[in-house]
Amino acid sequence: MTTIKTYNAISTIGLDYLKQHDYEINTNDSPKGILLRSQNLHNEKIAASVRAVVRAGAGFNNIPVDDLSKRGVVVFNTPGGNANAVKELTLASLILAARPVIGAIGFANETRGGDVSLRTEVSKGGYRGTELAGKTLGVIGLGNVGSKVANTALALDMDVIGYDPGLNANTAWRIDRHILHAKNVQEVLKKADYITVHIPLTDKNKFFIDSDSIALMKPTAALLNFSRSGIVNDLAAKAALDDDKLRVYITDFADEALFDHPKVIITPHIGGSTVEAEDTSALMAARQLDEYLTTGNIINSVNYPDIDEPFITKYRVGIIHENVPNMISQISKFFGDNDINIEQLSNRAVGAYAYTLVAINDFSDTQQEYVKTALDDIPHVILTRRYVNENY
């Protein structure tokens, strides 16, 4: 049996899937895979046995991707698995930014005793809000979450302007044609009444929203952060709120500096915390993990190229290597020199790394033993794995 190590509360749907596919969960210290959510892996020792790390969720800034890539460990996430959950909480937050719902609930609860209805009717004027219809929503990042938020805001009769210079074709298809595409982020910051950020935390995106960007916003603007702590400079947001340069800041990431601020609403990182999102993400994660460990197919990796081919031969060899010239010819020569016939060879590269998946039928035990060690001697090969098709 193969062991998978887990961190965080992973939905039982995902864990059951693994158990049904002959995996043990957390039974020893030499797992083949790790399945996690937001656990910070940067300071954890990751066992040498690990071949795959799967994030049941979108953001993977909690995983030491660069180090794992060098070790040939494939890192996955589950894009879109929790996007609807984040969309719904973002929409709720837009309403909280437009209407003083939280204060009004507090007030209603304080008016116990006597003629409650009279007192609430007299004082409700203090809880008047505004409407979202007709206002402009700026969406920064139009990926799985941002595209859903943007499309749904149109149904609320908002005007929507989006910014995403790295939009991929799949997501682009999903974006409603009524959404205005900004050429630069400044255009969004200046035009929008509500600004919501849905981008990953990377070195480049650290403090993407800082005092300079807030200075471009309308002083009546509302800023929403359901991305990550560190994408918005919270201290800059707080200073702008204090100086009446920003109206409200809603964030899903608690920060000591923001507690008890009257213009801040904090939720405890619950954007993806719905039953449905946790089930979907965990099941996607479990399937991707099993698929890689048993067939070599890579689906939704964040550090290696995806290759997803039907496993129709008896064997496969997956070779993780650097993306440098002459690798495919050296690999195919290696198989030829060792009298092993290649039925199919797939190769893809992304950034500094590449993956070659070789399909084989006739593969003697001696050849298999030899390939396992000798392929690794080709310069720039990082890791080699062999896969056996039990259904062949």
Ligand X SMILES: O=C(O)[C@H](O)COP(=O)(O)O
Ligand Y SMILES: NC(=O)c1ccc[n+]([C@@H]2O[C@H](COP(=O)([O-])OP(=O)(O)OC[C@H]3O[C@@H](n4cnc5c(N)ncnc54)[C@H](O)[C@@H]3O)[C@@H](O)[C@H]2O)c1
Compare residues 120 and 273 and give the one whose CB is closer to ligand X. 273
Cβ within 8 Å of residue 37, ≥6 positions away = 7, 8, 9, 10, 55, 56, 57
Q: Which residue is nearest to ligand Y, using beta carbons? A: 143
What residue 247 binds from ligand Y, ligand X, none (CB within 5 to 8 A, per partner kind)? none
Compare residues 164 and 278 and give the one whose CB is closer to ligand X. 278
Strands 222-225 and 23-25: unpaired
Q: Which residue is nearest to ligand X, using beta carbons? A: 57
Contact region for ligand X (CB under 6 A) — 91-99, 235-243, 267-275, 311-319? 267-275
Residue among 79, 50, 70, 146 nearest 301 (CA):
79
CB atoms under 10 Å from CB of 314, counted, come to 17
Least Cβ distance, residue 376 to ligand X (angstroms): 34
Query: Dmax of the chain from CA atoms?
Result: 93
Distance CA 35, CA 289 (A): 8
CB atoms under 10 Å from CB of 348, counted, come to 15
Strands 315-322 and 353-360: antiparallel
**138, 143, 146, 272: residue in contact with ligand X (rule CB under 6 A):** 272
Task: List alpha helices for the chain, DSSP H.
Answer: 12-20, 65-71, 83-98, 101-110, 116-123, 144-155, 169-174, 185-191, 211-216, 234-242, 275-295, 327-337, 365-374
DSSP state, residue 229: B
Q: Cα(first)–Cα(last) distance of the chain, in Å?
A: 20
Strands 381-388 and 344-350: unpaired
Compare residues 198 and 245 and give the one whose CB is closer to ligand Y. 198
Question: Do 144 and 171 meet the contact criterion of CB atoms below 8 Å apart?
Answer: yes
* Site for ligand Y, rule CB under 6 A: 58-59, 79, 82-83, 86, 140-146, 163-167, 171, 198-201, 205, 208, 226-228, 252, 269, 271-272
Compare residues 227 and 280 and give the one whose CB is closer to ligand Y. 227
Compare residues 171 and 384 and give the one whose CB is closer to ligand X. 171
What residue 166 binds from ligand Y, ligand X, none (CB within 5 to 8 A, per partner kind)? ligand Y
Contact region for ligand X (CB under 6 A) — 96-104, 153-161, 265-273, 316-324? 265-273
Strand partners, 387: 316
Question: Do 218 and 189 meet the contact criterion of CB atoms below 8 Å apart?
Answer: no
What residue 38 binds from ligand X, ligand Y, none (CB within 5 to 8 A, per partner kind)? ligand X
Compare residues 9 and 215 and give the one whose CB is closer to ligand X. 9
Least Cβ distance, residue 361 to ligand Y (angstroms): 38
Work out whether 273 is an interface residue with ligand X (CB under 6 A).
yes
Distance CA 381, CA 392 (A): 28
Distance CA 108, CA 124 (A): 9
Q: Please report, as residue ranges, which positions from 71 to 130 form the binding site for ligand X (by CB under 6 A).
A: 82
What residue 136 binds from ligand Y, ligand X, none (CB within 5 to 8 A, per partner kind)? none
Least Cβ distance, residue 37 to ligand X (angstroms): 3
Q: Which x/- pattern over 37-76 shows residues binding ligand X (rule: CB under 6 A)?
A: xx------------------xxx-----------------
Distance CA 42, CA 23 (A): 25
Work out whether 146 is an interface residue with ligand X (CB under 6 A).
no
Work out whether 14 is an interface residue with ligand X (CB under 6 A).
no
Compare residues 58 and 189 and give the one whose CB is closer to ligand Y. 58
Binding site for ligand X (CB under 6 A): 37-38, 57-59, 82, 271-273
